[in-house]
Amino acid sequence: MPARKPLVRARRRAAGAAVGLLTALSVVFTAVPGAPPASAGTAAGGWTAAWGSSLVRPTAPQPWSWPNWAWDGFADQSLRQVVRVGAAGSELRIRVSNRYGGQPLRLTRASVARAGDGASVLPGTVGELRFAGRPDAVVPAGAELRSDVLRLPVRPLERIAVTLYFSAATGPVALHEDGLTAAYRAPGDRTQDATGEAFAGATSESHYLLAGVDVRGARTEGAVVAFGDSLTDGWGSTPGADRRYPDRLAERLRADGRRLSVVNAGLSGNRLLTDSPCYGGRGLERFRREVLDRPGARTVVVLIGINDIGGGGLDDWGCGTHPTVTARQLIDGHRALIDAAHRRGLTVIGATLTPFRGYAPYYSPEKERVRDAVNRWIRTSGAYDAVADLDRALADPRPDHHDRLAPAYDSGDGLHPGDAGTAAMARAVADLVP
């Protein structure tokens, strides 16, 4: 694992200050009451979330930063992003986010097409997106904008390309740093470009501005949202291969004849209890928009807390200090997520926190005791509707090694599962999805 990743997926910039647990919990409790319970697998207008991304605020590049285009933004450039949708439909719409923008975002033109190889798209499939009937749109700072409906039939697990053209400078834009799938950039308006040749040589593995893709028009059972940190985000799996555990889960459900979409709401470095400008808002805060507000969401799988434990008390190496947390604080945080999801009628699957003894920046016997206490509560409290015991599924079976990842499942850093590990995670979750 690269040395520049000291947190899960440990990142390089200053972390936000710790917040009191009562303040953190109040975000969930005040955001959700009054929302009508959702019937499982249904959403207004018949929409189902088919793909999603958790976005964070752009920050100025530092010597240790992961390269991306977010700080410079885009000017007279087209951005093409390839995503794999999890559900079939005859119509789709996208959501463009300027949640973290410092100025209105002026989108000149946008399109969607079936993806080909690399940056190419399949000829004859390009459809122009419109916004309130217009080809252009302005997304206010701090807001998100949904496109009009586009008729474009898509199949489950099909790759589509979303192209956004910005004629004027955008300024810094929201991003999801660990996209693990190539995004492409080209000069000028390339929204109708099928060959992809103009995009050659300008690639990134981050997502930008695109917060979601929804589909409707085909029978579906709804969406499963995988919520968590880099273990859900897919760090450690093979880039460009769709081998994150939510990808594997989607494939297993589809093979079992289930008509369920799986949306990845993982965010590398994210913590349950603490905000950060680089790890995103604390899990308690982003749970509403990343899970509860997803159209068609019926089940959520919660795997979060390892960053709160492992990062607690670490020195400031340029990314800020991190508060030490107790098992009780994390348990109270998990209870808040469960209560919020149940009020919306969602089934909540809890995943035990996976071993991390091999990851030197995080591990200590004291932190291991916190992880054990949280896992014991997840297994035995009955608070979750079902429990995916990822701790036991991924642990080294050798005596006295149960607090380490099994070598076959380790990506190499002692913390993040590799491709075999993500497949094991999906197996542990799949049979629990109602």
- In this prediction, residues 92-105 reach a mean pLDDT of 96
Confidence of residue 384 (pLDDT cuts 50, 70, 90): very high
Residue 199 is classified by DSSP as G
The answer to whether residues 161 and 81 touch, using CB atoms and an 8 Å cutoff, is yes
Confidence of residue 321 (pLDDT cuts 50, 70, 90): low
Task: Taking the CA atoms of 217, 219, 225 and 226 in sequence, report the sign of the dihedral they define.
Answer: negative
pLDDT at 2 over 50: no
Confidence of residue 62 (pLDDT cuts 50, 70, 90): confident
User: How remote is the C-alpha of 241 from its chain's centroid?
Assistant: 16
Helix/strand/coil for 298: strand
Percent of the chain clearing pLDDT 70 (strictly above): 88
CA separation for the pair 416, 6 (Å, rounded): 12
Q: Residue 274 is which amino acid? A: T
**15-36 confidence digits (pLDDT tens):** 333 334 444 444 443 333 333 3
**185-230 confidence digits (pLDDT tens):** 999 999 999 999 999 989 999 999 999 999 999 889 999 999 999 9
pLDDT value of residue 371: 98
- In this prediction, residues 108-129 reach a mean pLDDT of 98
pLDDT at 94 over 50: yes
**Phi/psi at 164 (5° precision):** -115, 130
The answer to whether residues 106 and 138 touch, using CB atoms and an 8 Å cutoff, is yes
pLDDT at 158 over 70: yes
Helix/strand/coil for 46: helix
pLDDT at 312 over 70: yes
Mean of the per-residue pLDDT values for the chain?
90
Nearest-10 crossing angle of helices 245-255, 419-430: 50
Task: Spell out the residues 6+ positions from residue 387 whose beta carbon is closer than 8 angstroms to its own.
Answer: 349, 350, 351, 352, 378, 379, 432
Task: Taking the CA atoms of 76, 82, 85 and 90 in sequence, report the sign of the dihedral they define.
Answer: positive
Q: What angle do CA 16, 180, 248 make, to 5 degrees?
A: 105
CA separation for the pair 17, 118 (Å, rounded): 41
Residues 376-393: b if buried by 16+ CB within 10 A, e if exposed: ebbeeeebbbbbbbbbeb
Q: What angle do CA 109, 110, 111 make, to 5 degrees?
A: 140
pLDDT at 431 over 90: yes
CA separation for the pair 240, 179 (Å, rounded): 9
Residues 213-249: b if buried by 16+ CB within 10 A, e if exposed: bbbbbbebbbbbbbbbbbbbbbbbbeeeebbbbbbbb
User: How remote is the C-alpha of 130 from its chain's centroid?
Assistant: 26
Q: Which two tokens stand for residue 259?
A: 């008509």
DSSP 226-269: EEESHHHHTBTBPTTTT-SHHHHHHHHHHHTT--EEEEEEE-TT
**405-430 confidence digits (pLDDT tens):** 999 999 999 999 999 999 999 999 99
Nearest-10 crossing angle of helices 327-343, 21-31: 0
Q: List the one residue out of 229, 239, 311, 227 whose CA is nearest residue 268.
A: 229
DSSP 104-133: -EEE-EEEEEEB-STT-B-TT--EE--BTT
User: How remote is the C-alpha of 71 from its chain's centroid?
Assistant: 20
CA separation for the pair 269, 276 (Å, rounded): 9
pLDDT value of residue 66: 78
pTM of the predicted model, to two decimals? Answer: 0.91
Percent of the chain clearing pLDDT 90 (strictly above): 82
Q: How many CA atoms lie within 13 A of 107 on its CB side?
A: 31
- Among 36-40, 116-120, 248-252, 336-340, where is mean pLDDT lowest? 36-40
Q: List the one residue out of 397, 365, 346, 337 whose CA is nearest residue 24.
A: 337
Confidence of residue 145 (pLDDT cuts 50, 70, 90): very high
